[in-house]
Structure 1
Amino acid sequence: MKAILMNAPGEPEVLQAGELPLPELPSPAHLLVRLHAAGVNPIDTKLRKNGTYFPDNLPTVLGCDGAGMVENIGNAVTRFKPGDEVYFFNGGIGSEQGCYAEYTVIHEDYVAAKPKTLSMAEAAALPMVLITAWEALHDRVQLRAGQTVLIHAAAGGVGHVAVQIAKEMGVRVAATVSSEAKAAWVRKLGAEKIIYYTSEDFVQTALDWTDGQGVDAIFDTVGGDTFCRSFAAARVYGKIVTLLQTDCAAGLVKLARLRNQSIHYELMLTPAYLGLHQARIAQTRILESGAQLIEAGRLKVEVSKTFPLEQAAEAHRLIEEGHSTGKIVLCID
């Protein structure tokens, strides 16, 4: 089968088309899936550049997000049959084969039925960003209806899904964006307050929006100075959740402590990295809930660009340029 192989960490050129044997079912509970599309995420570019979580397993196939059709099943599989269309988050971090390939194998517990209203490309764009946004807002900061949240980089892959999930929860959303076009789009998705971070002080704007109190929660998808300054935009006893590693000046951390704020980290890769079976099943339930919202017309995913599988390196270059909206997907048909 065709696959995109990474033989060593490096620049996008290390992603090369190659051939691998068709994977065999590793257990009676596994599926063989013919992949039609693979989502491309910023984590893919970081693993390509710096090395995977399992650096000795080379060559490796990147890509955590996939969508396709079940071709074969183990004799213990009960949830799916050949011909079913599915989507999932699996592999791509170095321990198991990822989705930049024509086929993959996956345990049935980690698979969800593809939303009927989505194309394969749209379905492949969704798993990582959906699980990330859902866990951040539902599980980490535990938002409730009527509360306020500030979502940084709201037009990005995770951000645009987070806006919709927060809106679905009955939460009032403030969103940082960089342009009028992104503002109009994010407003349609449910953002109430638009903050142009290139020309506005997001801290002061968030305080003005909340009558000086600060927002109940902040979802940081940017990191760096944006994360560190966010303490000042959150209320006393507020919550901040970030996707990034953090390193802030002592004075800023002191402000968070003085205001009794709680800081949370969201890394949806943890269950896969640590082999936490029940936690991965919980993520499958998120994919199933997301599919229901999509089929009901209450959640959308934006695919901004598609590439053929052989152009995975170009997809990585585009992500690393930054400022893209929505998601980028490899099509494998």
Structure 2
Amino acid sequence: MALIARVVPGGHLTVVPRERPVPVPTGHDLVVRVDAMGVNPVDLKRAAAEPAGVVPGFDATGQVVGRGPHAGAFDLGDRVFYAGTLDRDGAAQSHHLVDERLCARAPRDWAAVDTAGLPLTMITAWEALHDQLRWESSTRGTLLMVGGAGGVGTAVIQLARATLPHVRVIATAARPESSAWAQRFGAHDIVDHASALAPQVRRIAPKGVDAVISAASRGRVDDLAACLAPFGHIVGVDRGPIDVTPLKPLSATWHWVFMFTKAVPDWNGPGTPHAEILAQVAALAETGALRSPTRHVYPRLSAETLAAALTRVGAGHGVGKTVIRRS
């Protein structure tokens, strides 16, 4: 069974079930019996962009129950987690085909709903911190995370604390609930993004921050530039601004992160392949250096729960990740 999500003209979301046979793996494919899946804003964007609808779900964890003829990295029965690709159906189904080269073993002793909250946002956070900023364990500096309580923000804060011990993390949040969430996951300082950021940030980092990672940058480029030290860096993980001219007087750099750029099974370009990122995330999770960002859990995958979960993430202002348990 698979669930098809579609946003019809007028903005109404529909989710309908479709019976499907268990898929047959080819090449490096795994057949994963899905235990839990995460829901993200990209799912709604795809449902609105595809007239026939899509099977959503780019965060998943489950058990390997089938393998293609060239798949050998995992055994039947192994638990894996992954973020999938744009050119295949998502994980809102009982059995999911995924290329093994995008997968890693799930963290030992982690519940499925906790694991399913990790892949997409942790890959995004890793690419921002380590692929784009190229920060290493010896890096010293100050990071501003705009949107500190969302899925990406929670991942960035945790990953920075776990892998960059000399970096101070300032997170933005506008409500008591989101401020408490960002602090819970390790932010050193909290500033209010409902007000001008620069005066608040400059009280903490008088010379400006070394880098900004922004999940809410549209319309903020002037304010972000005012927070930044000369020769600093901004990494946009959202649609971002159109004009970054305010960064020119600082000789600053704007970077983009789009997680699906490297969602290619045989990726051999710049940066770390997804499977390697997830393997390192699993290792950090097993040591207790990372905690699950999962906050809202729906108990059973169905048309009703998927519609409710998509509606929740579409409302914005989310805290943590939204996950659906298969059964």
Structure 2 counterpart of 1:114 = 106
Q: How many residues align?
A: 318
Structure 2 residue 200 is the aligned partner of structure 1 residue 186:
no
- Cα RMSD after superposing both structures: 2.1
**1:50, distance to aligned residue in structure 2 (A):** 2.9
Structure 2 distance, partners of 1:177, 1:8, is 30
Structure 2 counterpart of 1:220 = 214
Structure 2 counterpart of 1:265 = 256
Specify the SS of the correspondent of 1:286. helix
Structure 1 residue ranges without an equivalent (≥5): none
Structure 2 counterpart of 1:205 = 200
Structure 1 distance, partners of 2:201, 2:247, is 16
Identity, % of aligned pairs?
28
- Write the letter of the residue equivalent to 2:201: A
Structure 2 distance, partners of 1:196, 1:140, is 26
Give the TM-score taking structure 2 as reference length: 0.91
| Kept after mapping to 1: 8 A contact 2:101/2:265 | no
Structure 2 distance, partners of 1:317, 1:255, is 35
Structure 2 counterpart of 1:46 = 45
**1:247, distance to aligned residue in structure 2 (A):** 3.3
Normalized per residue, the structure richer in helix is 1
Structure 2 counterpart of 1:73 = 67
Structure 2 distance, partners of 1:261, 1:281, is 24
Q: Deviations over 1:60-118 (max 9, x none)?
A: 31211111001112343222111111111113x3x212101000112221110010132
Structure 2 residue 241 is the aligned partner of structure 1 residue 247:
yes
Structure 1 counterpart of 2:309 = 315
| Kept after mapping to 2: 8 A contact 1:161/1:300 | no
Structure 2 distance, partners of 1:162, 1:281, is 16
| Kept after mapping to 1: 8 A contact 2:99/2:265 | no
Structure 2 counterpart of 1:278 = 268
| Kept after mapping to 2: 8 A contact 1:33/1:68 | yes
Structure 2 distance, partners of 1:187, 1:13, is 34
**1:231, distance to aligned residue in structure 2 (A):** 1.1
Structure 2 residue 161 is the aligned partner of structure 1 residue 161:
no
Structure 2 distance, partners of 1:12, 1:123, is 30
Q: Sort the Cα spacing of 1:12 and 1:296 in 2 relative to 1 into closer, same or farther, 3 A.
A: farther
Structure 1 distance, partners of 2:170, 2:31, is 42
Structure 1 distance, partners of 2:103, 2:3, is 22
**1:289, distance to aligned residue in structure 2 (A):** 0.3
Structure 2 residue ranges without an equivalent (≥5): none
Structure 2 residue 88 is the aligned partner of structure 1 residue 96:
yes
Structure 2 distance, partners of 1:184, 1:46, is 29
| Kept after mapping to 2: 8 A contact 1:109/1:281 | no
| Kept after mapping to 1: 8 A contact 2:196/2:223 | no
